[in-house]
Chain A
């Protein structure tokens, strides 16, 4: 396979994952704005920060008005990470690697792009936000379904999946890092309504509020949530799960190519970080742990890019 094609697949799925994650953040933020009007501005501010769009946003707006934030995150062409920008980039990568995709996957991406483009053609209002978000969610799900249902389990699939998991791991780490202070034991006003809302929002941002309570029976402690999102390998958006999956793809490639690359060693090392109890992570500092993880994920992505000759 061409190095360029591997890179195109990797980025196509990174961008699709990004579009979905941004939509999920908006959904969580919107929920807070609906239920707790007093905190709305704060909450939107942290959503913008989590999305990594604070500098770009501040250039355009002074406030964190929900209409501004929603439209900036979903459809602003000046925002390179808006859902629409990410969708454009995903589709443009898909065109580039079209020969490597099954026709089902290509059509699903193309239709996803058309539907999202139509949904985001005009400013999003409170009245149609739910519908817009649902379009993004269901259309992305169709792409994922087509990928699982129709693609060969070969190198092509491996690069697609790595893009997804690296982006997702980065996203979960960022959500936790922006809110890490509410998870610190020192800040545990357990039982106050503010904390509950914050926790709930963290879980909602990764679509895991139901699975968390199913597993923990409503017992929300800071450690419990951190353990769940960082270390629990049953959770498809946990950092440990994403790391294990990335390593799995890399070892497939190692088997198929018959050579071991530096990225494979890096992934092994990274996965080992998740083999410690959550208390140990809190001891060394949650913020430091998350920062290191974000940095390592970026380094791994770069190493993969180099090992498999994405750009020459």
Chain B
């Protein structure tokens, strides 16, 4: 127990008593037979396989469809905690949209000297093609998945803003579905706020951003996927299905009369809003990466002319760039006139000489990330690294300091998982999903809780052996 005590456990306090949000769950849990719960875990796995909630792992042939392990112990957040998070996330997302509009128009924040010009100008995530473009409804980031971590009772930090194409929402929905099937009695005892309206809200929120060219009574919404071999294909199909939208690939699309049209059994039909799940770079071989086979040649031109809405807008990556992250508190203040409600993790920008020196001196205590990396690839977790790994990373860091940022190793909170020997604490993060429409920011109560299944591990990414939990936000 002492080894764990340096971390904040969300379920139990240091005396081993259940904290308030978990009180009723714990009462139920104490009366349950552990063997019965373990059997439930196995049922859950069979259930996921049957409905095919799998993800593909790149570069692995035969066993190419894997399950993300699911843990049956929910992660519970009280109404009070949630309302504060909700406020903080909405503030941040509004600031991000204002920032994106500014950065692709007058660039006042650069003129005011709050963000250095070269950080934008030399950034690959900044798309000159977006300068002066007005996205329909003024929305840049229709869907955001803000990554949060917790270190104490009231201490939440934003780890990443994920303003491009955040994934994982299908797990939020299916995890809840699984819990409802396995433990219906819990949902009658605890007032858990539902998440199931997310797909309808997504559809509505996308429809509210129909482009100028739309002239029907119901905007045609489609989801663009790279195809069935993409790691998130399940999610693409799932969302299209739940929204009642078509799931298209680039070869289903063609540009006709200034509209992006999909090939149907009766001919070509224009699409109004395209929820695209492919990166900017692959979106349009004429305007971006010429080698892309996944995109639609000329779609950017249609977009600029108001013929289609792309969600998220191209070029939003500049807002969740890791080099820019450390400026987020300033950005929030600049556009909202308020102090940032959610905290940023202290960040050293290795491009600055002083910071680089500090980082090199303290490498074994820090987490160092690539500015453009994601998915937990290419990052160094100092405290867990061997001497050789540290030395190797130091070389990389000296060679291209501006490619890296460093952060202290956060004491991530834990939530228990079900193991063979009963409950055991594991580190978690949280990704709530945010929908932005012209007059509304909507946050689904809950989100995706990712959990590092290995004892002591701080890496929660599914590609690195992480699992998920259902996330319960309690009603008042």
Contacts and interface: CB of A to CB of B under 8 A. Distances in A.
B52 A110 contact: yes
Interface in B223-239: 228, 233, 237
A310 to B, nearest CB: 9
- Ranked nearest first, the 5 interchain pairs of A and B with the lowest CB-CB distance are A99-B241, A308-B265, A98-B237, A3-B263, A99-B240
Interface in B257-273: 262-267
Contacts of A309: 263-265, 267
A122 to B, nearest CB: 15
Interface of A: 1-6, 92, 95-96, 98-99, 103, 106-107, 110-111, 114, 155, 253, 257, 259, 308-309, 312
A96 B247 CA distance: 9
Contacts of A110: 50-52
Given A1-B265, A312-B251, 11 more contacts: A1-B264, A2-B246, A3-B252, A4-B248, A4-B252, A5-B246, A6-B265, A95-B237, A99-B241, A259-B266, A308-B265
Contacts of B245: 99
B49 interface: yes
A106 B251 CA distance: 24
B249 interface: yes
Contacts of A99: 237, 240-241, 245-247
Interface of B: 49-52, 228, 233, 237, 240-241, 245-249, 251-252, 262-267
Contacts, number: 61
A253 B266 CA distance: 10
A98 B252 CA distance: 16
Given A95-B228, A96-B228, A312-B251, A106 B52 contact: yes
B322 to A, nearest CB: 34
A191 B52 CA distance: 54
Contacts of A96: 228
Nearest to A110: B52
A52 B237 CA distance: 35
12 contacts: A1-B265, A2-B252, A2-B262, A3-B263, A92-B228, A95-B237, A98-B237, A99-B237, A103-B51, A106-B51, A114-B49, A155-B265
A312 B241 CA distance: 23
A114 B49 CA distance: 9
A239 B264 CA distance: 30
A110 B267 CA distance: 31
Nearest to B269: A2
B52 A95 contact: yes
